[in-house]
């Protein structure tokens, strides 16, 4: 039996699956083990410890837990078969996200997709064992699922054939969580699905991973560890309340953050990066933040929120820089930046390539042109002023250093722009505009933006850490580093994160 179980262990199979790129990302075995390493290891020597993966796919978490329990319980339950039966029947449980993954997970854990067969390393009386799958249905209201927000147009029964999954995941589509297994769990661990289409434009999707975390907390386990996208650090679509709750939860004792998701999931590009955390119900305190960037590790035990702040400072090395900047208590740069659609124009207004009477210049993507002044529905008083503008979105991937934001530019009097751009300031002269641009192109400025900017979108809020300067003069990084008393190490860190911007 020992040979059967260990011979069936093949990490290459699950490592291969981990390279599949979709919203249900498979977890590499080494990542699963790094997460399990955060737990108190005595849990794996206790025959009463119970484990649940509420969104199992490959079964990698359950398989690695079984392997640890087999070692940890050897002295207490010397007979291997008795030990296996106890672990499989009493300690390790999973809820599969699809029928296919239920078969895959059972094959990984029981060495047979049917645990009531003679090939299973532990015999059950039914075909599911303790890795269950129930074909749950969405509940539609006004075109959305009341549980997960999925679009009825995308996932409704009238739109999908019977052979397609509904993606109505059982763990987040039930009111009575205690009825799932009729027991309490000491540890909840996993990698939940990340998002579902919500029926919006341009393949709009609604995050759902936070629902798994919230449901898991309702079960009140002793420990929880999950790997999820890091976009929640800055909130956003459906994540603001989750972000607020997480950042104020002092039971999160370890947070491991990867700015580049490919360092966790090779070949998978997840905007904003990826993270996993350890939640410890009975042990509150500061959090050990472990940050990885380009393979380099930084560790600092700190609060997730700085005093008087509502933002998680992602990079440990940046914490002291923020402290120095805030010490001067200067007004903030973002307060005068426009909201989206500064002139009330979307990305595709009626633009002409020929300037006719009554028309003004318009900055648009991909081509500038001319538009009737009467089409401007907001801030008409800005038209005849000199403006500093910048693109609303700017994305980068791969290794640092980044540019962080697009190149700011001067929009002269007699012009407007589409929602592709934000108006940073209206000014009285080109000299003042150029002084503002000199500041915006410094590494110092763009580094402070980076701390708030976790996606390609750059709304006015990503500039909240940036202080205002005296714009009667131009600015250089050297002047700013001296003004805020940055050390050589802090300057070197900024240089490693942000590259020079050539206008």
pLDDT confidence tier of residue 82, bands split at 50, 70 and 90? very high
Report the helix count and the strand count for the chain, using DSSP H and E: 14, 19
Could you tell me the two tokens for 343?
């002139």
Q: What percent of the chain has pLDDT over 70?
A: 93
397 or 63, which is more confident?
63
Peptide bond before residue 401 is cis, with ω within 30 degrees of 0:
yes
Highest average pLDDT, of 166-175, 194-203, 483-492, comes from 483-492
How far apart (Å, rounded) are the C-alpha atoms in residues 191 and 227? 5
Q: What is the residue-wise DSSP string for 350-397?
A: --BSS--TTEEEEE-SS--EEEEGGG--S-GGGTTSEEEEEESB----
What are the structural domain ranges in the chain? 1-32+39-129, 192-314, 333-497
pLDDT of 200 higher than 80: no
The alpha carbon of 218 is separated from its chain's Cα centroid by a whole number of angstroms, namely: 22
Task: Give me the pLDDT at residue 178, please.
Answer: 73
Q: Looking at the domain covering 333-497, what would its CATH class be? A: alpha beta
pLDDT of 168 higher than 60: yes
pLDDT confidence tier of residue 6, bands split at 50, 70 and 90? very low
pLDDT confidence tier of residue 499, bands split at 50, 70 and 90? very high
Mean pLDDT of 28-35: 96
pLDDT confidence tier of residue 162, bands split at 50, 70 and 90? low
Task: Give me the pLDDT at residue 267, please.
Answer: 84
pLDDT of 33 higher than 70: yes
Q: What is the residue-wise DSSP string for 418-479?
A: -TTEEEEEEES-HHHHHHHHHHHTSHHHHHHHHTT--SSB--GGGGTTPBP--TTS---HHH
Mean pLDDT of 211-215: 95
Q: What is the mean pLDDT of the chain?
A: 90
pLDDT confidence tier of residue 309, bands split at 50, 70 and 90? confident
Mean pLDDT of 407-423: 97
Task: Give me the pLDDT at residue 161, please.
Answer: 66
Question: What are 272-303's pLDDT values in tens digits?
Answer: 889 999 999 999 999 999 999 888 899 999 99
Q: Categorise residue 307: left if φ over 0, alpha if ψ from -120 to 50, beta otherwise.
A: beta
Kind and range of the H or E run holding 489: helix 488-497
Task: Give me the pLDDT at residue 287, please.
Answer: 97
pLDDT of 305 higher than 50: yes
Residue 200's SS3 state is: coil
pLDDT of 477 higher than 90: yes
Which value, to the nearest 10 degrees, does the dihedral of the CA atoms of residues 460, 462, 464, 468 take? -70
Task: Give me the pLDDT at residue 159, please.
Answer: 63
Mean pLDDT of 258-271: 88
Among 23-37, 231-245, 323-337, the range scoring the smallest mean pLDDT is 231-245
Alpha-carbon distances of 251 from 53, 248, 393, rounded to whole Å? 20, 9, 35
- Closest by CA to 337, choosing from 422, 408, 429, 419, is 422
Alpha-carbon distances of 210 from 78, 240, 275, 319, 477, rounded to whole Å? 41, 11, 13, 26, 39
Q: What percent of the chain has pLDDT over 90?
A: 73
pLDDT of 4 higher than 70: no
Task: Give me the pLDDT at residue 181, please.
Answer: 83
pLDDT of 475 higher than 80: yes
pLDDT confidence tier of residue 163, bands split at 50, 70 and 90? low
pLDDT confidence tier of residue 175, bands split at 50, 70 and 90? confident
Mean pLDDT of 221-246: 91
Could you tell me the two tokens for 309?
């702040």
Task: Give me the pLDDT at residue 198, please.
Answer: 65
pLDDT confidence tier of residue 10, bands split at 50, 70 and 90? very low
pLDDT of 503 higher than 80: no
Highest average pLDDT, of 10-24, 136-150, 193-207, 318-332, comes from 318-332
The alpha carbon of 184 is separated from its chain's Cα centroid by a whole number of angstroms, namely: 29
Kind and range of the H or E run holding 293: strand 287-293
Task: Give me the pLDDT at residue 14, please.
Answer: 54
pLDDT of 72 higher than 60: yes
Mean pLDDT of 131-145: 90
pLDDT confidence tier of residue 9, bands split at 50, 70 and 90? very low
Could you tell me the two tokens for 202?
């341009």
pLDDT of 467 higher than 70: yes
Among 22-26, 116-120, 309-313, the range scoring the smallest mean pLDDT is 22-26
Could you tell me the two tokens for 184?
């309490």
- Closest by CA to 58, choosing from 107, 91, 93, is 107
């Amino acid at each position: 039996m020992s040979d059967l179980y260990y011979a069936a262990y093949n990490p290459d199979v699950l490592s291969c699956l981990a390279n599949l790129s979709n919203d249900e990302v498979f977890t590499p075995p080494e990542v699963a083990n790094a997460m399990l390493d955060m737990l108190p290891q005595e849990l794996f020597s206790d025959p009463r410890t119970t484990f649940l993966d509420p969104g199992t796919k490959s079964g990698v978490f359950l398989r690695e837990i079984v392997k640890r329990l087999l070692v940890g319980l050897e002295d207490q339950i010397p007979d291997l078969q008795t030990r296996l039966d106890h672990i499989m029947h009493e300690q390790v449980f999973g809820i599969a996200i699809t029928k296919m993954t239920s078969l895959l997970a059972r094959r990984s854990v029981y060495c047979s997709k049917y645990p009531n067969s003679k090939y299973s390393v532990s015999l059950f009386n039914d075909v599911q064992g303790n890795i269950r799958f129930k074909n749950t249905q969405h509940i539609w209201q006004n075109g959305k699922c009341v549980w997960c927000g999925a679009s009825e147009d995308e996932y409704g029964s009238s739109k999908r054939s019977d052979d397609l999954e509904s993606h109505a995941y059982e763990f987040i589509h039930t009111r009575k969580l205690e009825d799932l297994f009729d027991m309490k769990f000491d540890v909840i661990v996993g990698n939940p699905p990340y998002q579902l289409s919500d029926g919006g434009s341009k393949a709009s999707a609604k995050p759902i991973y936070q629902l798994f975390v919230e449901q898991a907390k309702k079960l009140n386990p002793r420990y929880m560890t999950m790997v999820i996208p890091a976009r929640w650090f800055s909130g956003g679509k459906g994540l603001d309340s989750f972000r607020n709750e997480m950042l104020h939860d002092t039971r999160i004792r370890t947070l491991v953050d990867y700015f580049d998701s490919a360092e966790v999931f090779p070949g998978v590009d997840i905007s904003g990066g990826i993270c996993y955390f350890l939640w410890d119900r009975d042990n509150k305190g500061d959090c050990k933040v472990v940050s990885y960037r380009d393979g380099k590790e930084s560790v600092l035990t700190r609060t997730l929120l700085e005093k008087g702040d509502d933002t998680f400072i992602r990079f440990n090395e940046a914490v002291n820089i923020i402290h120095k900047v805030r010490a001067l208590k200067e007004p903030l740069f973002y307060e005068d930046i426009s909201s989206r659609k500064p002139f009330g124009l979307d990305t595709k207004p009626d633009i002409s390539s020929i300037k006719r009477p009554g028309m003004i210049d318009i900055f648009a993507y991909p081509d500038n042109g001319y538009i009737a002044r009467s089409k401007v529905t907001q801030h008409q008083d800005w038209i005849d002023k000199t403006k500093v503008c910048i693109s609303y979105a700017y994305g980068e991937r791969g290794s640092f250093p980044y540019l962080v934001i697009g190149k700011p530019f001067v929009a002269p009097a007699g012009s407007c722009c589409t929602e592709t751009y934000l108006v940073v300031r209206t000014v009285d002269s080109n000299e003042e505009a150029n002084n503002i641009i000199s500041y915006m192109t410094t590494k110092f400025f763009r580094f402070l933006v980076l701390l708030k900017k976790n996606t390609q979108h750059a709304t006015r809020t990503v500039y909240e850490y940036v202080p205002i300067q005296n714009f009667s003069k131009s600015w250089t990084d050297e002047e700013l580093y001296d003004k805020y008393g940055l050390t050589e190490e802090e300057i070197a860190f900024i240089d490693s994160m942000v590259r020079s911007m050539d206008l």
